[in-house]
A and B are shown apart, each in its own frame.
Chain A
Amino acid sequence: MKKQTIDTRPAGPKPWNDPRVRSLFFQAIAIAFVFWGGWVLVDNTLSNMESRGISTGFGFLNETAGFGIIMNLVPYDATMSYGRTFWVGLTNTLLVSAMGVVAATILGFIIGVARLSSNWLVAKMALVYIEVIRNIPLLLQIFFWYFAVLSNLPSPRQSVDVGGALFLNNRGLYLPEPLTQEGFGIVWGGILLAIAAVVGIRIWAKKRQLATGQIFPTFKVGVAILVVVPLVSYLVAGSPIEWDIPALKGFNFGGGITIIPELAALWIALSLYTASFIAEIVRSGILSVSKGQTEASKALGLPNGLTLRLVVIPQAMRVIIPPLTSQYLNLVKNSSLATAIGYPDLVAVFMGTTLNQTGQAVEVVAITMAVYLTISLLISLFMNIYNRAVAIKER
């Protein structure tokens, strides 16, 4: 006869009280809900588009666009496709974002440092700037620069003339354009040579400093090389640059590089606005470095400049980088306000005109959102890599 085994373990919880079962149950409901919602949306959208006669798919990207764009970095005219309008818009967005990031960073760091200045007047002015600018909507500031400042500039015939080469009027800022002539390859060679030399010197100087403790003036020598070598190669090649100087033709200027007022207004407003946030970030970053660090470095006999460069800034950067990243992201997203003043960025061109002409809202909106998602992810990726490089190295 078989021995009967008796199960002495206590009975488990009832299935509806078991956390694992409950968790599975709720997640199944969540999945079902998401799928059901998605299916309803897709179904509604398809039937709505059918009843309105909107075609689907990405075929429209190859159709002729037929509208002009006032500024394009990639070649474009009205006979090109909708796909090309996407690239025009994207490059314009990237251009104003890059310009904005650079200007806002420089300005923000200057104002942030000014905010901590021992000079009472300068510190108060920085405070006033920050408190005024960041409490006023960005869109209003863009309007102000575009409608109140730049459109009140003189007309082309009365333009502000700087040295006969640079003109400013209500149609934009006109700059001379350098046109590279034959033989410019030598200059490129010179530039590359200079960069390689500076990198080489830096590595050698660091090695020597580690070995002997002697400091080599890398910065001064580097700047000298970067200026002299390309200049010499430029002269050797026989000055292979010609300047295309803008000139008044009829009612407007022709030739040279034009910075249209839409770009200028957007750039100024974005930079000033973001700089006020960056300034606060910089200030809190510098304040986060404890006084003992500065004092210790002074006690070691480091001069003020080196204290700042080797002790304070590296530690402040750790605090500054993460919020700075999100400010850059904000700037890129805010550049979409371009559409309010007609700067042809991605949203204005692609999500505006192209969407209105084709009516393919779903595809256009999806592409645009995907672009912003990609830019956001890329910026956070790069900044995370940089952040890891400057992050505190603990044992």
Chain B
Amino acid sequence: MTESTMKAPKKALRPVKWMRENLFSGWFNTALTLAVAYLLVTSVGPLLNWFFLDANFVGSDASDCTGAGACWLFISQRLNFFIYGFYPDELQWRVDTMFLLLAVAFVPQFVERFPGRKWLGLFGIFGLPVVGYFLIPGGTFGLEEVQSSKWGGLMLTLILAYIGIIASLPIGILLALGRRSDMPIIRGICVVFIEVWRAVPLITVLFMASVMLPLFLPEGVNFEKLARALIGITLWQSAYMAEVIRGGLQAIPRGQYEAADALGLGYWRKMGLVILPQALKMVIPGIVNTFISLFKDTTLVLIIGLFDILGTVQSTVTDPAWQNVAIEGYVFVAFCFWVFCFGISRYSQNLERKLDTGHKT
């Protein structure tokens, strides 16, 4: 070895170098790092204790929650209520079947090259609502009927979000096309519809659906509370959906419209075969984002007296049989929502990367 050749830098020094660059560059960063680290260290310990070490997992009622930590017993004891609401125990296999079908249809979407992935997805969008329509309320095919007032918990949350999104997509497409139409009157109607729904909070829409809808309908015609909430959610959501899709329509270059015209395609074939397939693909992330926000907003139905997952938890934490379990309940609901929303948003980011065909600049 000659004097002029330098030794490779020692590997062991890398973490030190990394820390010096990323944590302790300058007095300000050092102070910041120390402050944040102090906060982390002092808060992680008690949190871990509360969540796991001092928490109670086994037992049968509130008196078994003796430790200083969380009372997870409360969740495990009431889990059935949080998932199915008042759905009769012996009929819950119907809901379980729907959960299973939902998983079968959508879990493979995360796995690339899963055989028949596309068909499962299409079944999830078109077939699942039909199966659910017969299975969950029952009343046909010899299935015992279950009133919608007995539905609740996670199941109701999923039903609201699922129907909301499936129904608002076609309405949103029509509204977006209407807003981009050449006919001034059609355009005006769509603009007013979209802007009015978008400007008002969902609560007022739900109130309107539950208070005013019965007034609007002819005498004798009446919907259940759930159906009224669904109508409100769908109309409100379709306005948001329309704006997302309009973004996609506007991003399609003029040449595509003109080329479709030049081929002699009529309006619907031009839109259906040329424009919409490109536009919808472009706005999939936006659609997923509206879906996530709709999913979170379904919690609002508890204000008009439906028992979604937050509603069931809220009604249980005020139950005198369980004392001071509010935090446990909220943490449980937060965790459920967080897993769904975070998972979906990660999936949409993947999709965005995969569908990126380089049309954007």
CA distance A334 to B36 in the complex (A): 31
Q: Quick one: which of B216, B218, B296 contacts A137, CB cutoff 8 A?
A: B296
Which residues of chain A come closer than 8 Å to B110, judged between CB atoms?
none
A341-355 residues with Cβ-Cβ distance < 8 A to B are 347, 351, 355
Q: Across the interface, do B23 and A121 meet the contact criterion of CB distance under 8 Å? A: yes
In the complex where A135-B337, A140-B334, A372-B199 touch, is A122 in contact with B33 (Cβ < 8 A)? Answer: yes
B200/A333 in contact, CB under 8 A: yes
The residues in A between 114 and 142 inclusive whose CB is less than 8 angstroms from any CB of B are 117-122, 125, 131-132, 135-140
Q: Which of A34, A121, A377 has the most CB of B within 10 A?
A: A121
Are B29 and A118 in contact, with the CB atoms below 8 A? yes
Q: Is A218 an interface residue (CB 8 A)?
A: no
> Within 8 Å of chain A (Cβ to Cβ): is B80?
no
Chain B stretch 2-57: residues in CB contact (< 8 A) with chain A: 22-23, 25, 29, 32-33, 36-37, 40
Cross-interface CB contact of A148 among B186, B218, B330, cutoff 8 Å: B330
Shortest beta-carbon distance from A49 to chain B in Å: 6
For the complex of A and B, 8 pairs with smallest distance between CB atoms: A135-B341, A333-B201, A376-B199, A120-B22, A137-B296, A336-B201, A27-B185, A148-B326
B211 contacts across to A, CB distance below 8 A: 355, 361, 365
Distance in Å: Cβ of A323 to nearest Cβ of chain B: 12
B140 interfacial by beta-carbon distance below 8 Å: no
**Given the known A-B contacts A48-B219, A337-B203, are A140 and B310 also in contact in the complex, defined by CB atoms under 8 Å?**
yes
Apart from the given pairs A51-B219, A369-B199, 16 other A-B contacts in the complex at a CB distance below 8 Å: A27-B183, A44-B218, A48-B217, A119-B29, A121-B23, A121-B33, A121-B36, A122-B32, A135-B337, A136-B341, A139-B310, A144-B327, A337-B300, A339-B203, A347-B201, A365-B204
- A32-55 near B? 1/0 per residue, CB < 8 Å: 001000000100110111010000
- Is residue A373 within 8 Å, beta carbon to beta carbon, of the partner chain? yes
Q: Could you pull out 13 A-B pairs where Cβ atoms are within 8 angstroms?
A: A121-B23, A121-B33, A135-B341, A136-B341, A137-B333, A144-B330, A148-B326, A152-B324, A340-B302, A355-B211, A362-B215, A365-B207, A372-B204
User: Across the interface, do A373 and B216 meet the contact criterion of CB distance under 8 Å?
Assistant: no
CA distance A137 to B185 in the complex (A): 38
- The answer to whether B215 touches A138, judged by C-beta atoms less than 8 angstroms apart, is no
The residue that A347 contacts in the complex, of B207, B299, B317, B345, with Cβ under 8 A, is B207
Whose C-beta in chain B lies nearest to the C-beta of A373?
A: B199
Residues of A close to B303: CB separation below 8 A: 339-340
The answer for the CA separation of A119 and B326 in the assembled complex, in Å, is 36
B215 touches A48 (CB 8 A): yes
Smallest CB–CB gap between B100 and chain A, Å? 25
On whether the beta carbons of A23 and B199 are closer than 8 Å, the reply is: no
- CB-nearest residue of chain A to B28: A119
Interface check A16, CB cutoff 8 A: no
B contact residues, total (Cβ < 8 Å): 54
Indicate if B90 sits at the interface (CB-CB under 8 A): no
**A210 part of interface (Cβ distance < 8 Å):** no
Contact A44 B217 (CB under 8 A): yes
Given the complex, which residues of A lie within 8 Å of B200, measured CB to CB? 333, 369, 372-373
**Proximity string of chain B (156-188) to chain A, C-beta cutoff 8 Å, 1 when within and 0 when not:** 000000000000000000000000001111100
Inside 8 A of A339's CB, which chain B residues have their CB?
203, 303
Contact partner of A369 among B40, B196, B217, B292, CB < 8 A?
B196
A143 within 8 A of B: yes
Instruction: Give A273-300 as 1s and 0s: 1 = Cβ < 8 Å from B's Cβ atoms.
Output: 0000000000000000000000000000
Proximity string of chain A (357-395) to chain B, C-beta cutoff 8 Å, 1 when within and 0 when not: 000011001001100110011000000000000000000
